[in-house]
């Protein structure tokens, strides 16, 4: 699978290590997905917190250390079934291992599970 132009546009400003993982995962081609969000403005983050869609003002999206990926159905529409994101995480973890990049998946978070979210860890990638 080749990432579409919109996905490439949304990877602008994202840390090169995370971009490499997303690109390898895409080229492995076992899950069809696109990038829904990369770098985020402080204003948009504040809006998401107000809307209850995020719990932090310290999101890794603000610094280009996070991406949101959406699994696509064969017709190109978004698939929000969490089990699909478990499958995508398996593929992201394989790509990250191959590149020796550490990643964290929002699907493992207890407080606000975030299946479409992957980020570089704070301890290895401080601001
Ligand atoms: Zn996210």
CA of 25 to the centre of ligand 1 (A): 17
Tell me the CA distances in angstroms from 24 to 3, 21, 111, one per residue in order.
10, 5, 29
Q: What was the pLDDT predicted at 56?
A: 82
Taking the model in full, what pTM does it have? 0.94
CA of 75 to the centre of ligand 1 (A): 24
CA of 61 to the centre of ligand 1 (A): 6
pLDDT tens digits for range 69-90: 999 999 999 999 999 999 999 9
CB 85 within 8 A of CB 68: no
What average pLDDT does the chain have? 95
The hierarchical CATH code for the domain 5-119 is 3.30.1380.10
In the chain, where the domains are located: 5-119
Task: Classify 21 in phi/psi space as left (phi over 0), alpha (psi -120 to 50) or beta.
Answer: alpha
Q: Is 116 helix (H, G, I), strand (E, B) or coil?
A: coil
Checking if the pLDDT of 54 tops 80, the result is: yes
**Cα–Cα distance for residue pair 77/73, rounded to 1 Å:** 5
């Amino acid at each position: 699978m080749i990432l579409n132009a919109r996905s490439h546009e949304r990877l602008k400003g994202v840390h090169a290590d995370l971009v490499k993982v997303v690109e390898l995962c895409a080229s492995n081609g076992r899950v069809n997905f696109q990038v829904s969000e990369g770098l985020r403005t402080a204003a948009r983050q504040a809006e998401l917190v107000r809307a209850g869609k995020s719990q932090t003002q310290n999101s890794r999206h603000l610094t280009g250390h996070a991406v949101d990926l959406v699994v696509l159905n064969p017709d190109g529409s978004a698939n929000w079934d969490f089990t699909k994101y478990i499958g995508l995480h398996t593929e992201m973890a394989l790509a990250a291992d191959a590149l020796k990049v550490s990643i964290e998946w929002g699907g493992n978070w207890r407080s606000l599970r975030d299946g479409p979210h992957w980020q570089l860890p704070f301890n290895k990638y401080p601001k």
